């Protein structure tokens, strides 16, 4: 496969951010951390980007002193080159796939971007990715996503010319909080989420694992 462009985007917490593949393929790396969202971007052959992966709090920020919180709720700090920490907590209930997609489209519309349409073939692939990472008990740094698109026949099978992945695992968030807290934690992640090239998407859930596949014809 002609790999002209490689982006590594990785949000560390419990979400694997957005891996963008685009014949030249763009991909993203994720890892699991323990009390905050951390984002790392490795060096790439063409340019650098980021990937978002939120991680579950061992202690909720709600337990911090209300008068003098140790770390402000929802704050993001840059701790290195393309490296961030964003502090988030847990909601009472996990969002459904449709709620996640609706929140994503609302976010895009509020920022002047087009609606992403649900696609059955992307849904099947997204569910496969969510299930396999749920079985692993960890995010796979987009390894399965990347391997899948190394086969050019899979591009034809899905009927797309560009693809991206957004995954999270290990904590409970509403659709709005997943989109606005996790994948909008910094400018780099935000720009990926608002990518104007995407026209299709599907969000899937498997236990505490969420996988979103983006695509374009």
CA distance 44 to 36: 25
- For residue 188, count other CB atoms closer than 10 A to its CB: 20
For the chain, what is the domain count? Answer: 1
Per-residue pLDDT, 206? 95
109 phi-psi bin (left φ>0, alpha ψ -120 to 50, beta other):
alpha
Tokens of 177: 């909080």
Q: What is the pTM of this model?
A: 0.67
Q: For the segment 174-210, what is each residue's pLDDT rounded down to a tens digit?
A: 999 889 887 777 676 777 788 999 999 999 999 988 8
- For residue 200, count other CB atoms closer than 10 A to its CB: 21
Do the domain assignments include residue 25? yes
Residue 86 three-state SS = strand
Do the domain assignments include residue 182? yes
Q: For the segment 170-179, what is each residue's pLDDT rounded down to a tens digit?
A: 778 899 988 9
Do the domain assignments include residue 2? no
CB 32 within 8 A of CB 10: no
State which H helix or E strand residue 43 sits in.
none
Q: Three-state SS string across 118-145, please?
A: ECHHHHHHHHHHHHHHHHHCCCCCCHHH
DSSP 8-state code for residue 63: G
| Residues 110, 115, 120, 126, CA torsion sign | negative
CB 209 within 8 A of CB 169: yes
Task: Give the residue from 165, 174, 141, 150 showing the smallest Cα distance to 40.
Answer: 141
Helix extents (H) in the chain: 97-110, 120-136, 143-149, 152-158, 175-177, 187-193
Do the domain assignments include residue 201? yes
Do the domain assignments include residue 57? yes
Q: What is the pLDDT along the chain (217 residues), one digit of tens a residue?
A: 443 333 333 333 334 444 444 443 333 333 322 223 333 222 222 222 333 444 433 333 333 334 444 666 667 666 554 345 667 778 899 999 999 999 999 999 999 999 999 999 999 999 999 999 999 988 787 889 999 999 999 999 999 999 988 877 777 889 998 898 877 776 767 777 889 999 999 999 999 888 999 999 9
Task: Give the residue from 37, 9, 6 showing the smallest Cα distance to 166.
Answer: 9
Strands 37-40 and 10-12: antiparallel
Length of the chain, in residues: 217
Do the domain assignments include residue 116? yes
The rounded percent of the chain whose pLDDT value lies above 90 is: 37
CA distance 143 to 19: 10
Do the domain assignments include residue 69? yes
Tokens of 176: 């709005």
Do the domain assignments include residue 1? no
Owning domain of residue 78: 10-216
CA distance 114 to 112: 7
Per-residue pLDDT, 23? 41
Domain with residue 139: its CATH number is: 3.40.33.10
Per-residue pLDDT, 71? 63
């Amino acid at each position: 496969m002609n790999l002209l462009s490689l982006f590594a985007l990785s949000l560390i917490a419990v979400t694997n951010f957005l891996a963008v593949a685009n014949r030249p393929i763009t991909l993203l790396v994720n890892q699991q951390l323990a009390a905050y969202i951390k984002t790392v971007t490795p060096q790439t052959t063409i340019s650098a980007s980021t990937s978002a992966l939120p991680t579950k709090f061992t202690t909720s920020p709600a337990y911090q002193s209300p008068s003098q919180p140790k770390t402000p709720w929802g704050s993001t700090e840059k701790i290195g080159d393309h490296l961030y920490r964003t502090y988030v907590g847990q909601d009472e209930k996990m969002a459904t796939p449709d709620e996640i997609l609706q929140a994503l489209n609302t976010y895009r519309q509020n920022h002047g971007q087009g609606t992403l349409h649900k696609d059955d073939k992307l849904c099947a692939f997204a569910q496969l990715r969510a299930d396999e990472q749920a079985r692993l008990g960890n995010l796979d740094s987009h390894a399965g996503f990347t391997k899948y698109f190394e086969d050019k026949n899979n591009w034809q099978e899905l009927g797309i010319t560009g693809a991206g992945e957004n995954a999270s695992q290990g904590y409970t968030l509403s659709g709005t909080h997943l989109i606005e807290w996790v994948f909008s934690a910094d400018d780099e992640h935000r720009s990926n989420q608002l990518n104007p090239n995407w026209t299709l998407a599907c969000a899937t859930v498997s236990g505490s694992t969420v996988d979103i596949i983006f695509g374009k014809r």
